[in-house]
Every structure is written in structure tokens, then in C-alpha cells.
Amino acid sequence: MAFTALCHTGDISEGNTGLFQAGRKSVLLVWPKGGELKAYRGRCPHADMPLDNTTFDGKKVTCLIHNWGFDAVNGKCVTHLVRNTLHPYPLRIEGDEIQVDVGPVKPARSPA
Ligand code: FES
């Protein structure tokens, strides 16, 4: 496993989500109300679109492209009878840093 720094613990709070970058990979952090912080691949498992247009009610993440909803705790789709799930990444907190293991990470492209 190779954990990569993603953000600081102060960048997200319980009951909220945030989309962050680990190199070229986007990571959706989700902190369910009354639950533990989770990290998922930042792309929707329905049509592989970026999860940058979502809502979160504290329990369910909804991708607003086609309104599929996913359980924040386990990533399972809860609005359609499909097996599509958000792809989880291992997550750990070191000091005030949130780290994830997204597999091999390429550096982000620098602006031209
Ligand atoms: S791409 Fe997210 S619901 Fe279709």
C-alpha cells in the first residue's frame, strides 16, 4: 500500500463531502452523519462521469447527472436495482493529514 496525502482534516466535516485530487486521480471524501469518514474514487460507477456534481443528505450521495444515489457508508447504489457501487479507497489519518491509497499515482499535469 502507498498512502498519499489528500488534504487536511479541517477540509471536511461530518455530514459533508468533498472532491480532492491525488495526482491525476480524483477522490470523493464522504463523512456520513454519525459515521466514519470514507474515501471513494471520484467517478460515478454508472457512466464513469466525474462526481463533481453531487448532493449529499448525510446518508446518501446523489450523482446529479442521472440521479443515481449511493449509500455513503458502503457505496452501494440505493436508487436502482444494480450492483454498481462507489469504488472505495483505503483511508487513514496521520496527524492532521488525510491520506488515501489510490494505487499508483501520476503527478498532476502542470498548467501549460
Ligand atoms: S453518471 Fe452518475 S448517475 Fe449517471
Q: Three cell numbers at 14?
A: 461530518
Answer for the pair 40, 7: CB distance below 8 angstroms, yes or no.
Answer: no
Residue 97: DSSP 8-state: E
Name residues contacting ligand 1 (CB within 6 A). Answer: 44, 46-47, 49, 63, 65-66, 68
Q: Three cell numbers at 30?
A: 464522504
Atom number in ligand 1 closest to CA 48: 1
The CATH number of domain 4-100, selected from 3.30.300.30, 3.40.50.300, 2.40.50.140, 2.102.10.10: 2.102.10.10
pLDDT number for residue 54? 96
Q: Where are the domains of the chain?
A: 4-100
Instruction: Give the burial class of 26: count Cβ atoms within 10 A of its Cβ; 0-12 exposed, 13-18 middle, 19 or more buried.
Output: middle
pLDDT number for residue 105? 61
**Which mutation among 40, 63, 78, 84 tests ligand 1's pocket best, with the greatest number of atoms within 8 A of CB?**
63
Residue-level pLDDT, tens digit, the chain, 112 residues: 699 999 999 999 999 999 999 988 999 999 999 999 999 999 999 999 999 999 999 999 999 999 999 999 999 999 999 899 999 999 999 999 999 999 876 666 666 6
What's the CA-to-centroid distance between 112 and ligand 1, angstroms?
A: 30
pLDDT number for residue 85? 96
**Backbone phi and psi for residue 11, each to the nearest 5 degrees, phi listed first:** -80, -10
Residue 1: DSSP 8-state: -
